[in-house]
Amino acid sequence: MHSPSELLKHVEQAISEIQYPTYPGNLYQPISYIMSLGGKRVRPTMLLMAVDLFSGDIRKALPAAMAIETFHNFTLIHDDIMDNAPLRRGKQTVHEKWGTNTAILSGDVMMVEANKHITNVDVSILKPALDTFNATAQGVCEGQQLDMEFENRSDVSIPEYIDMIRLKTAVLLGGSMKLGAIVANAKPEEADLIYAFGENLGIAFQLQDDILDVFGDPEKFGKQIAGDIIANKKTFLLLKLQELASKEDHAKLIGQFVNKNNEDKIKHITDLYHNYKIRELATQEMKNYLDKAYSALRKIAIPEARKSEIIKLAEELMNREY
């Protein structure tokens, strides 16, 4: 059994060994750039943890881990174009640095690079690995489309929201772990269980993100506190409040959407959250998904001791205050 930090080292080592073509330079430099911006490499690390869980060979899983991390970073390049984002991990985004056209095209070729990585898994598992990889990639695109569409809709329901975050972020965590299971020659039903673990953990993680944005420790939370409130972002908290609020409170909320005084706006909307116990309701929803995740993990017929590292990492992810 490897610890998450040991597995992370394998991931970082493998990333540093990827060789991209050098010509045309402007096509490939953005790829090296975004891959070198860091990040927690949660997805490939979780993939390797799934390999370890099913007693597979870590080294054999590196092509799948690189495929997932490369695909994830490709989506960041294209998402940043769509969101018109100037910064990614504190650095210029690719489209800011190289222009939109090159960012589109570097993203495209990066997806080809991801496909090349996944094609390097053992040929005996190539077909199921590709099926899982493609289904995952498709889900992520669908999630991003829904996220964009929800910005312009005022009638997003909570089930729609959960489905959006599932597709946009949780499917990739589930897919990563399922790929790990496939590489380790786990049984299909075990691969599905670890997928369910990853997907439900991903949804719980995203719900926690919504909660921490408002109620996290401002000193530990990496982003502007209550940034979602300022941006009128349709999070679980806001959608739940809209669902429960009286006509009067709903009108108050709508009024706050155009409040230009951020401090005042945060205070008023947080007060509404308190009145309707939105934090508690969101925490309960998050715990429901966490329970689903652990329930799937428990069903995997492997001694509980082998699951300890995955549980430890999941707890670390979920017990953050930021």
Footprint on this chain of its own copies (rule: CB under 8 A):
21, 23-24, 26-27, 78, 81-82, 101-102, 104-105, 107-109, 111-113, 115-116, 119, 123, 126-127, 130-131, 134, 137-138, 141-142, 144-146, 148-149
Cβ nearer to its own copies, comparing 176 with 256: 176
CB 73 within 8 A of CB 1: no
- Dihedral-angle region of residue 300 (phi above 0 means left; psi in -120 to 50 means alpha; beta otherwise): beta
Rounded least distance, CB 187 to its own copies, Å: 19
Cβ nearer to its own copies, comparing 62 with 201: 62
Contacts of 107 (CB under 8 A, 6+ apart): 74, 77, 78, 81, 94
Cβ nearer to its own copies, comparing 69 with 113: 113
Ramachandran angles phi, psi of 121, nearest 5°: -70, 165
Tell me which long-range contacts 196-199 makes (C-beta under 8 A, separation of at least 24).
196/292, 196/293, 196/296, 197/293, 197/294, 197/296, 197/297, 197/310, 198/46, 198/50, 198/170, 198/173, 198/174, 198/293, 199/166, 199/170, 199/171, 199/173, 199/174, 199/293
Ramachandran angles phi, psi of 87, nearest 5°: -125, 145
Rounded least distance, CB 157 to its own copies, Å: 14
Cβ nearer to its own copies, comparing 56 with 139: 139
Rounded least distance, CB 284 to its own copies, Å: 28
Distance (Å, rounded) from C-alpha 167 to C-alpha 156?
15
Q: DSSP assignment, residue 92?
A: E
Rounded least distance, CB 47 to its own copies, Å: 19
Can you tell me which residue has the tokens 């927690």?
40
- Please give the angle made by the CA atoms of 206, 210 and 135, to the nearest 5 degrees: 25
Rounded least distance, CB 113 to its own copies, Å: 8
Rounded least distance, CB 78 to its own copies, Å: 6
Cβ nearer to its own copies, comparing 149 with 321: 149
Virtual CA dihedral for 259, 263, 267, 269, nearest 10 degrees? 40
Cβ nearer to its own copies, comparing 138 with 284: 138
Rounded least distance, CB 277 to its own copies, Å: 32
Cβ nearer to its own copies, comparing 7 with 27: 27
Distance (Å, rounded) from C-alpha 46 to C-alpha 65?
9
